[in-house]
């Protein structure tokens, strides 16, 4: 059944677990997540970006998710809008049947330029008023996601400016978070703690000073009733990086957010963990390997099935590690 993010987050908080929120654009991603959830008996958050609706087409994306709910009636599913850039994007997601929306007012609607506190507060409060009137959950974001190593916002394919940001902008301030929650009434808050979108997050295994899990603890102490969301939380699996490069790909050496660090964050109030890159990498690696090893094959179902199975493996590992397995 379809549920709201708020219901799932409240239950996760009572039971001290976190939820991976996987981005979906196509059937194989949806099937991989649902099959893994079925196997682990976990609830699910399927999140679609505005880019996903553009890629699949709004009716197709909506029906993919409705199809998932119909095929797995015993699995609770949240249909969440990822990174809404303005009120219109959030409203159209609600009209499409999303039970939860993210209003990302940390950036202007170009999704590149860092926004002022007042802009963020006003646009997020407006979305909360509209969404809550219809029983829809709202996630806000305070602070700019980006690397504390380089000051760059990351994300090679869309968001993020080319300007360098200082640590102040790249770390959510706990006092400001408390004020933001009070002034907007958001259900969940995405925070900046040194993670960034995309594959190129850290140049080596992240130390405590570039991945600030301690900051999550401080924020949680100030806003214990607001569910904390970690974005840019792919772990960038070394084994998939190697498979991609061994089968004709060309990705640079890079490190993601270790699963252990996320598990630590979950102890301090993280309830939703956004993951897109890991499934993209598993999918690409599996397709490259399959085509290389099966040169006579021209049936896309064969290599797309390989991609689905590879993604399913990652989903299962995250459901188990974050503690949501067994909670469907
Ligand atoms: O935060 C960004 C997500 O990875 C979604 O990316 O806008 O390319 O669908 P997208
Ligand atoms: P990754 O690029 O680390 O997978 O992050 C995805 C994300 O935060 C989507 O909102
Ligand atoms: Na989101
Ligand atoms: Zn994100």
Residue 19 lies in a domain: yes
- The residue range of the domain holding 55 is 5-321
The pTM is what?
Answer: 0.97
Closest ligand relative to 140 C-alpha? 3
Is the interface score ipTM higher than 0.95? yes
- Is-contact 13 46, C-beta < 8 A? no
Condensed to tens digits (0 to 9), the pLDDT of residues 18-50 reads 999 999 999 999 999 999 999 999 999 999 999
Residue 60 lies in a domain: yes
Residue 118 lies in a domain: yes
Residue 212 lies in a domain: yes
Neighbouring CB atoms inside 10 A of 116's CB total 10
Residue 328 lies in a domain: no
* Atom 6 (ligand 1) nearest CA: 49
**Structural domain count, the chain:** 1
Residue 167 lies in a domain: yes
What does the alpha-carbon distance between residue 291 and residue 306 come to, in Å, rounded to a whole number? Answer: 10
Q: What is the whole-number distance in angstroms between the Cα of residue 297 and the centre of ligand 4?
A: 36
Closest ligand relative to 93 C-alpha? 3
Q: What is the pLDDT of residue 161?
A: 65
Residue 326 lies in a domain: no
Using CB distances shorter than 6 Å, the residues near ligand 2 are 23, 82-83, 197-198, 231-234, 274-277
| Cα atoms in the 13 Å half-sphere on the side-chain side of 109 | 7
Judge whether 82 counts as a catalytic residue.
Answer: yes
Tell me 145's DSSP state: -
Residue among 10, 38, 82, 187 flagged as catalytic: 82
* Atom 3 (ligand 2) nearest CA: 232
Residue 236 alpha carbon, nearest atom of ligand 2: 3
Residue 327 lies in a domain: no
Condensed to tens digits (0 to 9), the pLDDT of residues 216-275 reads 999 999 999 999 999 999 999 999 999 999 999 999 999 999 999 999 999 999 999 999
Task: Look up the CATH number of the domain holding residue 55.
Answer: 3.20.20.70
| Crossing angle for the helix pair 117-133 and 174-184, to the nearest 10 degrees | 40
Nearest residue to 136 via CA among 90, 174, 84? 90
């Amino acid at each position: 059944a379809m549920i709201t993010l708020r219901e799932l987050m409240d239950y996760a908080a009572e039971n001290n677990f976190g939820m991976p929120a996987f981005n979906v654009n196509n059937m194989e991603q949806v099937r991989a997540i649902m099959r893994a959830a079925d196997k682990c008996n976990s609830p699910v958050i399927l999140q679609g970006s505005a880019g996903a609706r553009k890629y699949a087409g709004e009716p197709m994306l909506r029906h993919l998710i409705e199809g998932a709910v119909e095929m797995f009636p015993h699995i609770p599913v949240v249909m969440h809008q990822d990174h809404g850039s303005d009120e219109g994007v959030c409203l159209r997601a609600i009209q499409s049947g999303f039970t939860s929306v993210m209003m990302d007012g940390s950036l202007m609607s170009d999704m590149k330029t860092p926004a002022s506190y007042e802009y963020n507060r006003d646009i997020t409060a407006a979305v909360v008023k509209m969404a809550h009137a219809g029983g829809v959950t709202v996630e806000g974001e305070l602070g700019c996601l980006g690397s504390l190593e380089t000051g760059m916002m990351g994300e090679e394919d869309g968001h993020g400016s080319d300007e360098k940001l200082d640590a102040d902008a790249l770390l959510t301030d706990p006092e400001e978070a408390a004020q933001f929650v009070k002034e907007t009434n958001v259900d969940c808050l995405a925070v900046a703690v040194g993670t960034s979108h995309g594959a190129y997050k850290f140049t080596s295994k992240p130390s405590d000073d570039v991945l600030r899990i301690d900051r999550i603890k401080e924020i949680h102490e100030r806003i214990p009733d607001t569910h904390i969301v970690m974005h840019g939380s792919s772990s960038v699996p070394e084994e998939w990086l190697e498979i991609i490069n061994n089968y004709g790909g060309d990705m640079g050496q890079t490190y993601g957010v270790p699963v252990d660090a996320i598990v630590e964050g979950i102890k301090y109030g993280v309830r939703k963990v956004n993951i897109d890159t890991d499934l993209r990498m598993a999918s690409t690696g599996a397709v490259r390997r399959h085509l290389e090893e099966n040169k006579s094959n021209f049936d896309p179902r064969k290599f797309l099935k390989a991609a689905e199975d590879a993604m399913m493996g990652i989903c299962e590992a995250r459901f188990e590690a974050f503690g949501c397995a067994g909670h469907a």
